[in-house]
């Protein structure tokens, strides 16, 4: 499994001896084995020149840039190497056909909702009273079936999310980490800062995985395709936000690993400090590498791999081989 590299230090990333080297400001040199890297996340101030970018592109490495506050600035998405005109046509066909598009969009919502339910039920079994939220989400999932437009489905998705997040206050039950309501750009409290950071990471993991398939990240189904950015990764991320992100958040908080002093107030919002970001990324890396037994493939698969498998399922759906079923946690 190829590795992910997170760079927090300031410095310069260069090509050297057909491999990569990172030179920190104080002159330390770290050689990075280029053949073993899938993607690089840049949180520090890093200089890169064309030579390095050309090399990264040649080695099919995706680079994600984050700004000072941990917001995703953009990604260096190298020249496509898995070109398939056929797949793009199929992908577009499923977007343009309203019935097909709604089908896929609803599947994403369903997958996300079912995974959220798994989390709520897990904590419900452990003595947190989440019955109201569970019943409400189950009702909404059933209601989703009646609608045949993406806008309606989106509205239901919003309600599911809201109900789901209400459960967070019951699960965490801490004065220092109150959820209250979802706030973005800027996140108004610590939980929201964590959720935002976690989501932006998952978007990028999904983007890196899409790069390894024939799919075009610009054509999304739940999130309307527009002229600006990648959307398919946002769709896929919906399914994995609870599975990978929220579980990491909740376990870090319950174990008391992330503390209030890992956050700071800035620009009328709350952000993770570098210490907090590092702790979170470390936990995230562990989670992504953790393996589970895949019931259909009958072998151990890492969470990271699950994202790619999800994309393969989509490809199969597009070429009419097998209808798409979203991944739902087994336990």
Partner 1 sequence: MFVILYYDVGEKRCAKMLKTCRKYLQWVQNSVFEGEISIANLEKLTYEISEIIKPQEGDSVIIYKFRTKRYTERVVFGIDKKDDLSFI
Query: Is residue 152 near partner 1 by the rule CB under 8 A?
Result: no
Six token digits for residue 165: 């997040």
Q: How far is the CB of 61 from partner 1 (least distance, A)?
A: 13
Q: How far is the CB of 25 from partner 1 (least distance, A)?
A: 12
Q: Are 305 and 103 in contact (CB under 8 A)?
A: no
Q: Are 184 and 285 in contact (CB under 8 A)?
A: no
Six token digits for residue 158: 């919003």
DSSP letter string over 54-105? HHHHHTT-EEEEE-TTS-EEEEE-PPPSS--HHHHHHHHHHHHSHHHHHHHH
- How far is Cα 116 from Cα 121, in angstroms, rounded to an integer? 9
Tallying the residues shown for the chain, one arrives at 331
Q: How far is the CB of 3 from partner 1 (least distance, A)?
A: 7
Query: Is residue 275 near partner 1 by the rule CB under 8 A?
Result: no
Selected range binding partner 1 among 11-19, 185-193, 246-254, 259-267, rule: CB under 8 A = 11-19
Q: How far is the CB of 262 from partner 1 (least distance, A)?
A: 15
Candidate list 63, 191, 237, 281; residue touching partner 1; CB under 8 A: 281
Residue whose CB is less far from partner 1, 152 or 289: 289
- How far is Cα 149 from Cα 260, in angstroms, rounded to an integer? 42
Six token digits for residue 205: 């993991």
Candidate list 97, 135, 149, 282; residue touching partner 1; CB under 8 A: 282
Q: Are 111 and 328 in contact (CB under 8 A)?
A: yes
Six token digits for residue 274: 């570098």
Query: Is residue 159 near partner 1 by the rule CB under 8 A?
Result: no
Q: How far is the CB of 197 from partner 1 (least distance, A)?
A: 15
- Rule CB under 8 A: which of 17-76 touch partner 1? 17-19, 22, 24, 30-36
Query: Is residue 285 near partner 1 by the rule CB under 8 A?
Result: yes
**Residue ranges in contact with partner 1 by CB under 8 A:** 1-9, 17-19, 22, 24, 30-36, 278, 281-282, 285
């Amino acid at each position: 499994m190829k590795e992910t590299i997170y760079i927090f230090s300031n410095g310069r990333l260069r090509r050297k001896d057909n491999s990569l080297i990172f030179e920190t400001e104080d002159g330390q040199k770290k050689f990075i084995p280029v053949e073993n890297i899938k993607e690089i996340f840049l949180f520090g101030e890093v200089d890169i020149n064309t030579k390095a970018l050309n090399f990264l592109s040649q080695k099919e490495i995706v680079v994600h840039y984050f700004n000072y506050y941990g917001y995703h600035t953009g990604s260096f998405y190298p020249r496509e190497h898995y070109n398939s005109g056929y797949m793009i046509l199929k992908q577009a066909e499923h977007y343009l056909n309203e019935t097909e598009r709604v089908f896929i969009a609803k599947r994403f919502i369903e997958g996300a909702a079912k995974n959220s339910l798994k989390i709520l039920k897990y904590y419900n079994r452990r003595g947190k009273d989440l019955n109201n939220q569970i019943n409400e989400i189950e009702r909404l999932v059933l209601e989703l079936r009646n609608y045949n437009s993406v806008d309606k489905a989106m509205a239901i998705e919003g309600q599911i999310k809201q109900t789901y997040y209400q459960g967070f206050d019951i699960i965490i039950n801490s004065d220092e980490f109150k959820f209250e309501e979802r706030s973005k750009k800027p996140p108004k409290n610590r939980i929201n800062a964590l959720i935002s950071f976690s989501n932006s990471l998952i978007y990028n993991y999904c983007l890196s995985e899409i790069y390894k398939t024939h799919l075009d990240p610009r054509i999304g189904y739940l999130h309307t395709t527009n002229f600006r950015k990648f959307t398919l990764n946002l769709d896929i991320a919906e399914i994995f936000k609870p599975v990978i992100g929220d579980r990491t958040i909740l376990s870090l908080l319950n174990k008391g690993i992330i503390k209030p002093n890992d956050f700071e107030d800035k620009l009328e919002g709350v952000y993770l400090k570098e210490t907090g970001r590092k702790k979170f990324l470390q936990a995230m890396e562990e989670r992504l590498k953790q393996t589970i037994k895949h019931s259909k493939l009958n072998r151990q698969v890492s969470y990271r791999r699950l994202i790619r498998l999800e994309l393969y399922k989509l490809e199969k759906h597009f070429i009419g081989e097998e209808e798409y079923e979203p991944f739902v946690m087994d336990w």
